[in-house]
Chains A and B, each alone.
Chain A
Amino acid sequence: MEQVESHIGQMGVDSRKLGVWLFLASEIMFFTGLIGAYIVLRFAHLQEWPHPGAVLNIPLTGFNTFLLICSSATLVLGLAAGQRGYREGLQVGLFLTILLGSLFLLIQMKEYSILIHEGLTISSSMYGSCFFTLTGFHGAHVLVGVIWLIVVFIRSMQGKYTPEDSMGVECVGLYWHFVDLVWIILFTIVYLI
């Protein structure tokens, strides 16, 4: 693959990291568009908008939120272990993160199937459209994150990351924490408020 060379540029930051940060800036605007539309449409339908607890299983999704926050923590611990040169720690951290992320997706799929069974679909009402679009795009981001983590995990098994260069782990970490953060916002405005 590429020859070993420094990616640190004039800004004093690795290009790959800078690129991920910029990508996340665009992701913020993407979710801003969706959330903005959600707010507008919800205010236009205040009367018929169901109370979140009436339709959604908040304890279940609350548990799911807890899993996702834990997955951020396991990733941070894994990265810290990797940067200390403790490779097994990195691998365990990545593995647990993948496990928790997959669990999140499984629970979300279960939640979807229950809701669809109860008659709430993307086309059944404006509420359903907003709910599935917002949470669905977040779920897609988690899926991408899990796949990316699996790639990083395989590379860590091959010994690609050293204490000096664990940028690959840092980059997926940035993305993963961002997805986590988006979920906390979505959980608040879709499930709690």
Chain B
Amino acid sequence: MDKRRNTEVTQNNAPIAEALDKHINNRVVRFDVPGHKGGRGDKELTDFFGERLLKIDVNSMKNLDNLSHPVSVIKDAQDLAAEAFGAKDCFFIVNGTTQAVQTMVMSACKAGDKIIMPRNVHKSAINSLVVCGAVPVYINPGINKRLGIALGMSVKDIEKAIEEHPDAKAILINNPTYYGICSDLEKIVEVAHKNNMLVLVDEAHGTHFYFGDNMPVSAMAAGADMAAVSIHKTGGSLTQSSILLCGESVDDNFVDYVRQIISLTQSTSASYLLMASLDIARKSLSLYGKEMFKKTVEFAEYARGEINKLGGYYAYDEEIIDGDAVFNFDKTKLSINTRDIGLAGIEVYDILRDEYGIQIEFGDLGNILAIISAGDRYMEIERLISALAEIKRIYSKDPVGMFDHDYINPEVIVAPQKAFYSSKKSVPIHESSGKISGEFIMAYPPGIPVLAPGEKITDEIISYVDYAKEKGSLLMGTQDMDVENINVVVEE
């Protein structure tokens, strides 16, 4: 493939979007898929989505390039994104950041290879172990007792894991975490590279690190080998669109291998809506990102100050930085601990939606998280603050009896792939203690597994599941949709 960059396009261009515009204006007669033919085939569909959107919903063709083998406008758009993110190469991903994370793991590991990762990774990472057969070496992420949230990765813990597993192929890091906690990426990259391990960063919530001022260091700037970036989360593209970045440290051969791995799981009918949205979002980020994220931080800082004045809530900030497991904090995140008003985060999350018409990102047992972006206005921020004031006035309880959440250190008995594909039988959850789980249980959001395939089920895990259910958390992952029964590995 031609590696030369097209010098005719700059960050002011959006090559895919421009090509789509041109294509529509050419009024090409459609004898290809999609069958709705620009919306003419279904009036209801057109009325619902709007004519323009359906006209743009086209399939790959010569003048629009092909995501599986990009040579023209998609290549240009990916190259511009690589340039904007300071990466060697960039792949547009249309099957969610889940696919980007799975591609990283599957590119770095083959069956039986070890990979070091914190246990509080997104389920997509552990799912990739089920698919490719790699074996996890989990690092206990540590817990902030006051907040009940998992922290970043401590360099010391990583060094220890490397010493014990020098044959591991890669380290996967969650940076920032959903709550905005960052690890010492630069140091981790240094340690990993010294030991010939790849550094893969799940940067799903970190798009803004590449564009804002005074942000924690981004994966590419820290020298990581690969990063999965959910542009749709804080970067403004459409839901499910994402990018996968390769750093300067990887060679061309590896980049081509990554493309092959992507094509194992990526749709061959990649949506032009998603790709054009990535293209336009990258352009906006390049041109206006600094300003956008300045505004975002201002909103978040204001909200934190006002919420902390309400009392009973703790909207945390840089004071939780400890130079190790909390190496840095992402100030755009509005994470609020709700313990002192005697309500679980998930309860506040539900009340906000059901009583006040305010949808926030998630609530866990002790915290809620509101996503703030440049798209917000002070009016909505005021509504959130005022609703929290009302919830405290009307619903607050004595905090006694709140679950003292601790990190549940999993005991991995069998590799995830082996456990998932072994003979299993379904047993009631309450009778499963001591058995090996054959599937996942997770509370969603944030989608971090409570239990993964191959791990030993304990009384502690069962009581955590009960408590999360009681507080209204949405549990999922088991074959049994009600999460009453669990598939356990039949031991021979």
Q: Are A and B genuine complex partners?
A: no
Residues of B within 8 A of A (CB): none
Residues of A within 8 A of B (CB): none
